[in-house]
Structure 1
């Protein structure tokens, strides 16, 4: 799987990052319940299809992509001690993720996500990440108690953070000096949670991964293209902004420079997890030494391969 995804992204074996590299994924780890139909759907549609339950959540989707590159990402999240949680932890370990630092509570049930997809894309979705929100800063304890890092020895690697965390906790991460040396990569999780990333704009910290709608919500406007959106995010304070726009051009902006590229045209068979796959592949390419244009291209190729169904869930 490691070489298969690398080949899909255009990376050679020597381009894959060192297996000993430690990378942390903070956010939602839950069960995805996805209903998919080959029919076009609208509100009230009742059509045949397939319903699956898979390990998911933004942080876990990102981590699973890292694992496909041969890395062993560390998960910081919460999973219940219920039967669903025990099964999920086993599944995460089997997928190559390190779960030893996941916060587990008898009082918090395992979170879930439910979505319905048709031939015309995502119809509706509900994310039940209440346990993650209630766990709050307890999931970050390994970064301060010496398990992974401490105040004296802060973590210096890459950290992917998703917007399923509470606004207060995201604000804390954006402002905390303990993350000054951390390579923060942030995604909103959904348009409904995009505005939770405002602290990272104000702090000028981290790399933001958003789609066109989420960029508009952060900038309190609408955009016709990803390059315009990425430029505006940087103007509003983002250190770096990566903006996707479905089958249209995606963009990578830093102060004084914007690059853009269109994704490959493929037959879309699924959409849930595509953005997370894009983000993880981009981080791998970026940290592996690829230039900005190459990293964007490789990430778009990886996402296209994923939505076409060529990479297993």
Structure 2
């Protein structure tokens, strides 16, 4: 029961951070790091910290960067046996610049994951994890770095019909890819306020209104965050809101992924809905403050 499938981007994060406020054209001192990253990877790392067993389904090249990344995943306690390793596609990368005033700019190069397509799902569709006749019945964390066509296939696929499906966009720029999961009413969606507005083609003043908007469009269950302001978890039966702890923000990349994973872990440990939301906000606050390791 500790196994959770993490489907989506597993790549190298190249992050430049500065303690200075930045704007377009800024040239400031700081630190540049390279760490295992990607939405699915960030979720998996947090799940592993909570004692769960993340199983990665993604595309990683057979280049030296890919071999190093797979070894790092194994060292962090993740199951890598079901990864799709390509001879032709390079290992993906993500590059971001963060200042004291938050994320300045980012570029996600997930072209290999997109090119691999449904090959990454073979363990779920043709075994050994499941198939259409005996679908996987555990928890699946899915990220929006997959193509819109593949996400539409997953939303309708019998191979996912029995799963506890948790879905998050990779970024606001890819939020529209999650429309199939709003309409099909089976998944739990994790979005921020901007992403909720994109999915609803509207603007919301707060997360409670955003959650109501998503539910009105057919979503089964949603969690909407808004940085340091109140977050909301809701379905058609109940709605819970909570304000995250106020902390000094030292990083932002990966905060939403940490929130999602911590919420899944809290519910798997038996926490009620309000308590699980509080625990997830606490974990995300520890992450952005630098207290939780990358």
Match of 1:159 in 2: 140
Unaligned runs of 5+ in 1: 1-19
Instruction: Determine helix, strand or coil for the equivalent of 2:71.
Output: helix
Residue 252 of structure 1 corresponds to: 233
Residue matched to 1:65: 46
* Pick aligned residue for 2:185 from 194, 200, 204: 204
1:5-20 equivalent positions in 2, closer than 5 A = none
CA contact (8 A) 2:52 2:265 kept: no
Does structure 1 residue 99 correspond to structure 2 residue 49? no
Say which of 274, 284, 294 aligns to 1:303: 284
Contact 2:188 2:221 in 1 (8 A): yes
2:247 aligns to what SS in structure 1?
A: coil
Between the aligned partners of 2:152 and 2:125, the Cα distance in structure 1 is 17
How many correspondences in the alignment? 294
1:136 aligns with 2:136: no
Structure 2 distance, partners of 1:219, 1:100, is 38
- Checking the alignment, whether the CA contact within 8 Å between 1:266 and 1:308 is kept in structure 2 is yes
* TM-score (normalizing by structure 1): 0.93
Maintained 8 Å contact 1:231/1:258: no
CA contact (8 A) 1:101 1:142 kept: yes
TM-score, length of structure 2 as denominator length: 0.99
Task: For residue 238 of structure 1, report the CA deviation from its aligned partner.
Answer: 0.4
Q: Single out whichever of 279-288 and 212-221 deviates more from structure 2.
A: 279-288
3-state SS of 1:186 partner = strand
Comparing 151-160 with 203-212, which one deviates more in the overlay?
151-160
Q: Secondary structure at the match of 1:104?
A: strand
Q: Secondary structure at the match of 2:53?
A: coil
Q: Cα RMSD over matched residues?
A: 0.8
The ranges of structure 1 where at least 4 consecutive aligned residues each deviate by more than 4 angstroms after the TM superposition are none
2:111 matches 1:114:
no
Segments of structure 2 that go 5 or more residues without pairing to the other structure are none
Distance 2:202 2:28 in 1: 36
- Which stretch shifts more, 157-166 or 248-257? 248-257
